[in-house]
Structure 1
Amino acid sequence: MELMSGNENYDWDALKENCTYKEYFNKDHPAIKAFWDSFFMLEEEEKKKFLLFLMGTTRIPWKGMSKVEMVIQPTDQTKLPVAHTCFNLLDLPPITDKQEMFRRLKICIDNNQGFTLV
């Protein structure tokens, strides 16, 4: 079943470690640090909702979270984060305030509908 529909063995640190960045974003950019700080403030169920927002499902590849290829690219400062589920691509506003990043992230994950494989 895991081969067909993925698994739920979440390793959030692996997601962060495997993430790549576009344009002027990099792992040390203040907005990226604010994003990951905000992400790790989420409860476990909220992190799963983030996966639903990012990928359209809460299931991860059968080989584990290290196979999730998340990409973050900058977008307009005034916008909410936007996910392109077919590419695991996140458009992220370059917000450096952790609380504001958290607020916008919560809006996205709390008002999202995805699809499920099972």
Structure 2
Amino acid sequence: MRCPKCDQKERQYKNGKTKAGSQRYRCHSCGHSYTPEKKVQGYSQAFRQKAIKLYVDGAGLRRTGRQLGIHHQTIANWAKEEAEQLPEAPMPADVKTAEFDEIFTFIGDKKTESISLHL
């Protein structure tokens, strides 16, 4: 192993690890600290897509998290990021005709007398 700064091969000492678990080294000659082979942090794009697909298909955040062994909030964050990248939904044209089928609705405010309509 060679120091990337001074190209010295001898006297390269272990100097801790990174958060991802990669071994760090320190060159005794120049004092430079470096990581020769960095590990990639995070999840692959394919894994993210799998988690989002499970969630969108109706599995729910917590169930998906348990199945894949990750926190449910991580899946929520990934889904939110994906949703923000989607294009805006087009506005529908003006509605000229609407059909209702036995709708029972509440009109008014709960604090005051309300009107119930059976359409």
Say whether the fold is shared (TM-score over 0.5). Answer: no
Larger Rg: 2
More strand, by proportion: 2
Where relative contact order (Cα < 8 A, 6+ residues apart) is larger, the structure is 1
TM-score normalized by structure 1?
0.22
TM-score normalized by structure 2?
0.22
More helix, by proportion: 1
